[in-house]
Structure 1
Amino acid sequence: MMFYTAKDAWMPCEWQKDTTNLLVGFCKSEDLIYMQKQMHLFSKNTIKEVLGQSDDKKVNKVDTYYGYVFGILYLFTKYKQDTPKISFYIVLHTLLIVCDDETCLQELQKEILQLDPGVCTLEKTLREVLEYVLFHVERQLDEVENEMTAFDEKISPFDRGIANEFREYRRLMLRMSHFMEQILDVCENLLEDENTFFHTEHLHQLKIAKDKAVRIEERVRMMEEYIEQLKEEFQFQQDYKLNQTMYVFTVVTVIFLPLTLIVGWYGMNFTSMPEVTWKYGYLFVILLSVSVVGCLLLYLKRKKLL
């Protein structure tokens, strides 16, 4: 557990409840439990949510309580398993970040402590947290865009696995769209500032984060449309392939159906058929079949069906 206060430089310090300077803390859930036992600062329900003991789903949200604001943010990943969670508490002039993912916690600490402490505000610090989450969304979105560009070049109606890939990408983009809606709700709830923790002249920091979230949401929507276009193109290729196959079968049927009739006709071998006993009957049927095929081919070619 580490706390820093913003003065001329970021100075390590202890928890201070009624500080007038910006105070930023970084800790894990076990540290939060220790703090709660010592000072009883926060609601037990929020502690349960931090520990993952509540029945709530993985939803990005912000809740306002008496004297503080509690929020949960998740880092978007391609797969739902092991999604890093960032919980945070906002008290007057204070931001406490709780995360059990060591890499995530260290990266957040590094990003925030790089800010100029002389001009850093609570709003600016909170913006850094939001933009850290948005950065991971953008990184996943960039990967999807690159994959879809390569995917566009290899689309083939003969690849049966492409339909399943389309399904996976559509599910991924649907998750990303819902995720961004939640982030926008978080930004709007923070901007409402029910506890009046923020200064009006600094609220533009949160608006910047919200505007960035809006732009990413637009990119997600455009990617959804692009995936839908690729799916339609793939479907068109499949339909065209099927039509070509049916066309070939139709032409073959048109050409050989008369031959089937001839074979069936002379295959009955009635004694009254003069061709059955005729010396040149066999040759006659061969020439008749060849003539029929030739006439049909010539007809189809003139009609530009071949």
Structure 2
Amino acid sequence: MAYSSDSVTPNLSIQFAGLHLQTPLVLLSGCVGFGEEYTRIEGWDNHDIGAVILKGTTLEPRMGNAPHRVYETPSGMLNAIGLQNPGARYVVDHILPQLPHKETQFWANANGTSPEEYAEVARIFDDSPVTAIEINISCPNVKEGGVHFGNNPVMAARVVEAMRPMTKKPLITKLSPNTADIAETARMVIEAGTDGLSVINTLVGMAVDIEQRSPVIANISGGLSGPAIKPVALWKIHQTRAVAAKHNIPILGQGGITSAKDAIEFAIVGSDAIGLGTGLFYDPLLCHKLLEEMRDYLRRHTMNSYSDLVGTLVTSAE
């Protein structure tokens, strides 16, 4: 689309899985609690964000893992919270009614230990004000000996198939970078009925206390997030983009975004929306800064909207 005038403000609103988001910025699950944490920060504005993804929620309440559960690493963070949450029914009945739904959208993040549990969580959230449900397929399947759903395309698809009949809300499947073939997983969950993809979830890592000669994280391993994983995230989005575009499925790109430059890179490789997580710990007021700098970039490159930038990567083969 040709740019018409220097006075025109580029449009940062987007369409994602049938939803209209006021900006492409989405706050990621686990980084803002159940959506209420950032309301206490002076200068915070919910109108800067397109959606908030609530903390990972299971069918029954969970206490989570023993401490230590979070550890800062060079250019990143390890976490193994263990899905501490009060259960889906409590979230719907007691937490969602308190959230500012007129200011931005809120999406659920569904977790389970079997396809049946995922399906029941979807049923509970279907009758609620959330506008979409993200599926965390990085959970272990207890019926299959603890194998993670996200590491097996067939099991990932089974989760989506189980949830699809239980809700009319958009389903957004969060893909694991730890799978052997992320594009194949994307293809199978799309065929199973997902409406969008979140790319990527955290990488698996660990840290060691050299004095105690023991793992820093009580769970031994944890999910690595932050700038350290950004190159991996960009590559996985690039790998996923072709199959997603073929089926007109949008991608929520995420993994180490802490600046407008990062966000623009993610858009260029194919992120229809931008997920912010660990970057919010670096700078709680990051969102407004990103939007202003992204508008400046679009002006300089004669683009009228964020969507004009998405998927514009030029390779030597082209």
Q: Report the TM-score, using the length of structure 1 for normalisation.
A: 0.24
Structure number with greater Rg is: 1
Q: Report the TM-score, using the length of structure 2 for normalisation.
A: 0.24
- Higher-RCO chain (CA-CA 8 Å, sequence separation at least 6): 2
User: Quick check: which one's strand share is greater?
Assistant: 2
User: Quick check: which one's helix share is greater?
Assistant: 1
